[in-house]
Amino acid sequence: MKVELPRAGSGETLVATLRHGLTELNRDRRVGGRLDVGLIEEGRRQAEEAGRRLAGTAFDAVVASPLQRAIETAELVTGWPRERIEIDELATERSFGEMEGIDPAEVPIRFPHVKYLRIGHVGYSLNPPGGESFDRLHERAHRFLEGLLARHRGARILVASHQNFLQQLHGVLRGRDPYHALEDDILNCELNAFLLDPDGRLLVEHREVLVPSAADHPSF
């Protein structure tokens, strides 16, 4: 079934966000962050399925994180060549510093000072050693949105990025603080669309789970 995104009127901006497809880090339940891994075969299938759901949906701009998994997802979903996709460093994933690449079960042993905020089944590390706080990530998401609207106000934009970054971007769009923004988990290849008025205020939002099987690999 094809996806119907909110229709933008004169001067309105549509910001659609897409989390990347499955990687080995997601599959193996390891901390990802800035580690630059590509999609695994299942992740590519997810992106292709998402592309079929979005077939015929036109975007004026496609913006991606500089990490391979986001760029590859954007290519497979939209059919746009890599050179046409706008890469924005501000859209990269949260840095987890020294925790990147490890099993979360190792964290209490190697980094016993790390504290977690538990929301549902997901544990969010609050102070990863050498990493980025949620307050700083939220501020970065705010700067990203300001730049996006400065470049593409009034357009239909797709942003391909990552779980923690997109949670904070959604929080900025919804007017939530960095910690309430964590209440909405995001599946691989999940689409969220936000229709903004000419002043950048949120009018309508819409969520689509483009790949139901993504729920087989929940956040942790």
- 62 pLDDT more than 80: yes
Domain residue spans of the chain: 13-95+138-216
Catalytic residue (one of 20, 162, 170, 217)? 20
Residues β-bridged to residue 157: 15, 61
- Residue 204's SS3 state is strand
Secondary element (H or E) of residue 110: helix 107-110
* Assigned superfamily of 13-95+138-216: Phosphoglycerate mutase-like (3.40.50.1240)
pTM: 0.97
Whether 20 is a known active-site residue: answer: yes
Give φ, ψ of 135 to 5 degrees: -65, -45
Catalytic residue (one of 12, 49, 75, 93)? 93
Q: Where are the beta strands (DSSP E) in 42-197?
A: 61-64, 86-87, 116-119, 122-125, 156-161, 190-196
In angstroms, the first-to-last Cα distance of the chain is 29
Radius of gyration (Cα) for the chain, nearest Å? Answer: 17
Residues β-bridged to residue 192: 17, 207
DSSP string, 79-103: ---GGGSEE-GGGSPPP-GGGTTS-
pLDDT at 2: 81
Mean pLDDT over 82-96 rounds to 98
Give φ, ψ of 92 to 5 degrees: -75, 165
Whole-angstrom distance, CA of residue 20 vs CA of residue 198: 28
Q: What is the pLDDT of residues 174-218, one digit of tens each?
A: 999 999 999 999 999 999 999 999 999 999 999 999 999 999 999
Instruction: Assign 1 a pLDDT band (cuts: 50, 70, 90).
Output: confident
User: Which distant-in-sequence residues (6+ apart) come within 8 Å of 146 by Cβ?
Assistant: none
pLDDT at 138: 98
Give φ, ψ of 128 to 5 degrees: -60, 135
35 HSE (CA, 13 A, CB side): 18
- Residue 42's SS3 state is helix
